Structure 1
Amino acid sequence: MSPTVLVAGVVSLYISVNVRGFPVTYEPSAKPGWARSGTAGVASHIARVHRALGNDVRLCTLVGRDTAGEAIRAELRRDGLSGPGVVESPSSSLGVVLVDPSGRRMGMPHLTALDRVEYPFEVLREQARGADLLVLTNAKFVRPLLPRADTLGIPIAVDVHLIDDPAGEYNRPWLERARIVFCSHERLGDPRAWVADLLRRYPRCEVAGVGMGARGALAGLRDGRLVEVPAVAPAGVVNTSGAGDALFATFLDGWCRHGDAGAALRDGVLHAGWKVGHRLPASVSLTRAELAALRAAAAPPVTWGRWDG
C-alpha cells in the first residue's frame, strides 16, 4: 500500500548555470555552456520523488505572490503538489546553482524571505491527518513546529545535510525527535563513526544514513547493522544538485513500504545516480516502474556489516 507522506520545507525558484570550473574566475561577462531554471529546493525535490513513486504527498511550504511565486505555484500545480499546505508569504525563496563540467555544484540558496515567516502549525496538523511519515526538513521556519509535531504520534524523518557535529545546537531539535536521520559526508570525518555516534547519542533514531557522493551511501540501524551501497551513474554525471534529496526520499519510500534498509538504500543510490545525469535533476524523477526497470539493468551491490563492532 502506498504511504502518505507530509513534507515540510522550502520550495524555491532556482537557476542552474554551467561554469568552466571552481574557483570561478572573474570575467565582466561570460556565456555559460548551458543554463536551466525551475522550481527546486529540498521540500520540492523530496515531494516530487514521492509523488513520482506513487505516494500520497502533502506539501507544507511558503510561497510568495511575487513573480517567482507565480512560477513556483504553476509548477506545483503541474506536479500535483499544490494544496492547502502551500501558505502565502510576503515573498518567495530564490537560488542559484553553479555546476562545473564534472557535475560538482555550488548552491547559493537565498532563504531570507522565508526565515522570518511563521508557518501556522494548525495547517501542518491538518495536513498530517492520516500521514504515515512526517518529513520535516531543517529549514528555519520548520524548527518551531517540531515540539508540537512530535505530539502527533507520526514518525519524523530529516536530512540535516551539511552537518559536522551531532551535538550541534541548530539541528538538535530534529535529532532528538527523528526516527530516520540522513546527512551529507562533506563535513564529516569517518561516516561510520558519525553513524555510531548519532545512534548512541539519540536513542529515538532508528536509521542513520550518510550520502557519500561518488562513494555511494551507507546507513546504520539501531540493531547494530550497517549497510553500504556503491555509487552508480547510469547516464554519467552532469549536475549533482539534489542527489542527497533523491537518495533520502527514495530510501524513505522503500522503508515505509517494506522496511528493508538494504533494498531501500540501493534504490536511493540508483535513483540519485540516475538524476545526476540531468542538467536540472530536481525536475525529473523515476516512476516506480521506471525505477524497477533501472534496478533490473544496473542495480549496485548491497554489503552488510556492523557499526557497533
Structure 2
Amino acid sequence: MTRRIVVAGVVSLYMSVGVEFPVKYASTSSPRWIATGVSGAAGHIARVLKKLGDDVRLCTVVGRDLPGLGITAELRRQGLVGPGIVEGAESSVGVALVSPDGRRMGFPYLTPVNTVSYPMDLLEASAHDADLLVLTNAKFVRDLVGPASLLGIPIAVDVHLISDLDGEYNRPWLEAATVVFCSDERLPDPPEVWVRRLFDRYPRCRLAGVGLGSRGALLATREGTLVRVEAMAPRGVVNTTGAGDALFATFLHFWSETGDPIRSLRLAVVHAGWKLGAFTSLTTSLTPEELSVLDASHLPNTVVGRWDR
C-alpha cells in the first residue's frame, strides 16, 4: 500500500564544486568538476521517498526569482509540485565544496526563507490522511511543530549536527517526534549513551538513529534493541553531500511500510552508500527493486544487540 508522507522544510538550488582543501585564494581557479541540482533537506528527502514509491506531499517555500524557476521546474519534473508549496520573494540557494575523498563543506544560504511564516492550515490540509509527517528542523517549520503534534500523526525529524539534548532550538522537534535521527559528528557522548539519554529525556521518541559517517549507522528502539550496520560504497565515494538525508529518508520509507527497523536501517545504509558515488547524489536515487538487488549483492555487516544492558 502506498504510504502518504508529508515533508516540510527547505528546498534549495545547490551547486557542488570539486576542490582541493585547503582552498587557497586566487583571482581565478578551475575546479575539478561542478554539478548543479535541487536539494535542501526537504527537497532531497522528498525526492528519495518519491522514487521509493511514496505519495509525497511537499510543504516548502520557493521564490519568484531565477533560482525559484529552476527549483519549480525540477520539482514539477519529479511530480512534487502541489498545494503545499508557498511562493516567497527569494529562494534558498547553496554551495558545497567537495574534496577528492568526498568530504564536503556546505554553504547553505537560508536567509530568504527563514523569515517566511508558513500557514499551519496549509500543513494541516497536506496532512489529511497522512501516515507520517517529516518535519525538518528548518527555521520556518519550527512554529508548526507544536500544532502538528496534536494531529495524531507520527512525526520524524533529523536534527543533524546536534550536540545538546536540552538545546533551545531543537527542543520542539525532540518533544514531538516519534523518530529522531542525527549525525554523530558533534555528539558529546558515544552513540549508545546518547540514545539512552534521548529516550530518558523525550518520552515520545520510539526510534533513535545516528549516522556514523564512514562507520555506517546505528539505530536504537525504545524497547532496547540496538542495530549497527557497517558502511558500504559500491561505487566509491565522490560526494558525501546529502548522505544523511538519504539514510533518513530511506529508513523512513521501509520502516513505515514494514515496521522492521533492522532491515530498514540496512537498506538505508546501502542506499546512502550507493548515492555517494555520484557527483550530485541529491539528484539520483534507486527504486525499491533496484535497491533490493543492490542489497542482495552487497549485504553489509549488521550486528543486533542491546543498549539497555
Instruction: Please report the TM-score for the alignment, with normalisation by the length of structure 1.
Output: 0.99
CA distance in 2, matches of 1:30, 1:186: 31
Equivalent runs, 1:228-243 vs 2, <5 Å: 228-243=228-243
- Deviations 1:216-250, CA, capped at 9 Å, x for gaps: 00011000111000000010000000000000000
* CA positional deviation for 1:305: 1.1
After superposition, residues 16-35 of structure 1 pair within 5 angstroms as 16-21=16-21, 23-35=22-34
Q: What is the rounded CA distance, in whole Å, between the counterparts of 1:147 and 1:163 in structure 2?
A: 20
- Distance in 2 between the 1:191 and 1:27 partners? 41
Q: Structure 1: how far apart are the matches of 2:269 and 2:257?
A: 17
The code of the aligned residue for 2:89 comes to P
Helix, strand or coil: the match of 2:140?
A: coil
Deviations along 1:254-291, one digit per CA (max 9) or x if unpaired, are: 11011111100000100000001000011001001110
Paired residue for 2:302?
302
Q: Does 1:2 align with 2:2?
A: yes
Give, as a single letter, the amino acid of the residue that structure 2 aligns with 1:136: L
Counterpart position of 2:175: 176
Structure 2: runs of 5+ lacking an equivalent: none
Equivalent residue of 2:60, what SS? strand
Equivalent position SS for 1:264 = helix
Structure 1: distance between partners of 2:94 and 2:105: 11
Residue in 1 that maps onto 2:67: 68
SS in 2 for 1:144: helix
SS of the aligned residue for 2:150 comes to helix
Supply the distance in 1 between the matched residues of 2:297 and 2:184 (Cα, whole angstroms): 28
Q: Does 1:91 align with 2:90?
A: yes
The letter of the residue matching 1:122 is: D
Q: Residue by residue, what CA displacement relative to the aligned partner does 1:111-140 show, whole Å, maximum 9, x if unpaired?
A: 000111100111110000010000000000
Q: Distance in 1 between matches of 2:74 and 2:178?
A: 31
SS in 2 for 1:152: coil
Identity of aligned residues (%): 59
- The Cα RMSD (Å) is 0.7
| Aligned residue identity for 2:227 | V
Corresponding residue for residue 150 of structure 1: 149
**1:167 Cα deviation from its structure 2 partner:** 1.1
Query: What residue number does 1:79 align with?
Result: 78
Given the alignment of the two structures, is residue 277 of structure 1 paired with residue 272 of structure 2, yes or no?
no
SS in 2 for 1:75: helix
How do residues 119-134 of structure 1 correspond to structure 2 at under 5 angstroms?
Answer: 119-134=118-133
Which amino acid in 2 is paired with 1:100?
S
Equivalent position of 2:227 in the other structure: 227
Provide, for residues 10-35 of structure 1, a one-character-per-residue CA deviation record: whole Å limited to 9, x for no partner: 000010000012x3222221100100
Offset of residue 301 of structure 1: 2.2
Show the 5 A alignment for 1:203-214.
203-214=203-214
Q: Normalising to structure 2: TM-score of the pair?
A: 0.99
Deviation track 1:138-186 (CA, whole Å, cap 9, x = no partner) reads 0000000011111111000000000011111100000001000000111
